[in-house]
Amino acid sequence: MPSSVNLPMSSFPKQYDRLPTVSFVIPNLDHDIHDGTIKEADDWLKSHLSGYIQWAKTHNSMLVVTWDEDDMSSNNKIPTLIIGPMVAQKTITQKSSHYSLLRTLEDLYGLDKLGHSEQAVPLDIWKQ
């Protein structure tokens, strides 16, 4: 990825309408709960993205926060939060994966399906 688009969090704009259509924010290992605590990760999220979360709720924008751990067991749960004015406030119990999330975003933007997302069921997240 070119350095012109792989930027530090300090470059995250304060004017959120300047963000590209899709952005990835990837915390370091202390703030993504790999090496740090849940409180450290929560504090980091509040400190760095709470302003965007409030803005997104009224500007047709969406934030997806997801974890990446999978122990491959049938009881494994990967928390994912999706916040935006177009998203229904509910708990989704359907069996899903990162491919389901990818499929949801591909469908949203009318994109071709990549790899295993073609067989994935998109998440039922939209307001009716």
pLDDT for the residue numbered 98: 87
Residue 101 has phi, psi (to 5 degrees) of: -65, -45
State pLDDT tens for residues 79-128.
888 999 999 999 888 888 889 999 999 999 999 999 999 999 999 999 98
Dig out the tokens for 67 from the structure: 């974890």
Angle at 77 between CA 12 and CA 118, to 5 degrees: 75
- Mean pLDDT on 25-36: 86
Domain-wise residue ranges, the chain: 1-61
Angle at 120 between CA 98 and CA 71, to 5 degrees: 40
Residue 95 has phi, psi (to 5 degrees) of: -65, 125
Residue 11 has phi, psi (to 5 degrees) of: -90, -5
- Is residue 58 a contact partner of residue 85, using CB atoms and an 8 Å limit? yes
Read off the pLDDT band of 4 (50, 70, 90). Answer: confident
pLDDT for the residue numbered 47: 94
Higher pLDDT, 78 or 122: 122
